[in-house]
Copies of this chain bind each other. A is one copy, B any other.
Amino acid sequence: MQTILRSKTKEVKIDAHSAFVIIGEKINPTGRKKLAAALQEGNLEYVKEIAANQVAAGADLLDVNVGVPGLDDVAMLPRVVQMLSENFDLPLCLDTPNPQALEAAMRVAPGKVLVNSVNGEEKSLAAVLPIVKAYDAAVIGLTMDDNGIPNDPETRTAIAGKILERAAKLGIPPENVVIDPLVLTVGADSKAAWVTLQTIELVRREFGVNINIGASNVSFGLPERDVVNQAFLALAIQAGATCAITDPMKYGLFIKATDLLLGRDNYAAKYIKYFKAHPKEEPAKPA
């Protein structure tokens, strides 16, 4: 199954046979004071700089989150989306819990965006899916509902099924729904990653849809988090994940290596191209 996103002129395909898709996670002020301050001042130059770094490091899509407490996201999200689509030609992933901000951003976003996210809660399904349908977007469906995040793969898979069913009722086809099985930290529960990996396999087998993962929660509270995050990326990709919201600066080369090992990179061309295009050292980190 193929999920297609579009910018003004570019198309990004998510499927199990192509290169794994990297959604750059850095345009998100959570825990980033400098970005939060820039957004509050309406200073989009800094946002642009972060975006440029993510694109240079190999992001295929950009996640856009402007969630700063007190900030008018209904005004800010479309402003940032407009700036990004004027400056960068890659599809966007609109990351907001506010349906008004989402709709305002949809109006100005070119192409076909990915909405981040809907979940199995009645309130979320009712608010988000109609907007996804109206703008012919794709959406990330999180496997949680009014009872929280289930502890077992079967119940998470059932929530994925519910989201897909409710989407279908509105005329949203399954290729426009990317399921995110969620991952909790293995620091708190050593079976946490295993539950996610099992959910990925179950959802792939039952519904055949694309799978997104967030690849940094898993290591929360542990030392050497990058090592754990890398291992998790490889395991999740092998289990069937097809895209991740993650940091291409840190994990881009590792993801390309995994694609290569899974036979998705003829002549190692993409791995070597990526290596040549990116210095070993990380670019200066935005604070």
Contacts and interface: CB of A to CB of B under 8 A. Distances in A.
Interface in A240-287: 253-254, 257-258, 260-263, 265-268, 271-272, 275, 280
A257 B234 contact: no
Contact of A260 (B228, B253, B271, B280): B228
Contacts of A265: 190
Contact of A263 (B194, B234, B262): B194
How many copies of this chain? 2
Contacts of A263: 190-191, 193-194
Interface string A183-199: 00011001101100100
A224 B253 contact: yes
B261 A193 contact: yes
A239 interface: yes
A100 interface: no
B224 A261 contact: no
A85 interface: no
A186 B272 contact: no
A237 to B, nearest CB: 8
Nearest to A259: B231
A239 B280 CA distance: 29
A31 interface: no
B224 A275 contact: yes
A238 to B, nearest CB: 5
A148 interface: no
Contact of A227 (B193, B224, B231, B254): B254
Given A187-B268, A230-B257, 5 more contacts: A190-B263, A191-B263, A218-B261, A228-B260, A235-B258
21 contacts: A186-B260, A186-B261, A190-B260, A193-B261, A193-B262, A194-B263, A197-B261, A218-B261, A222-B268, A222-B272, A223-B275, A224-B257, A228-B271, A230-B254, A231-B234, A231-B257, A231-B258, A232-B261, A234-B234, A235-B235, A235-B261
Interface of A: 186-187, 190-191, 193-194, 197, 218, 222-224, 227-228, 230-232, 234-235, 238-239, 253-254, 257-258, 260-263, 265-268, 271-272, 275, 280
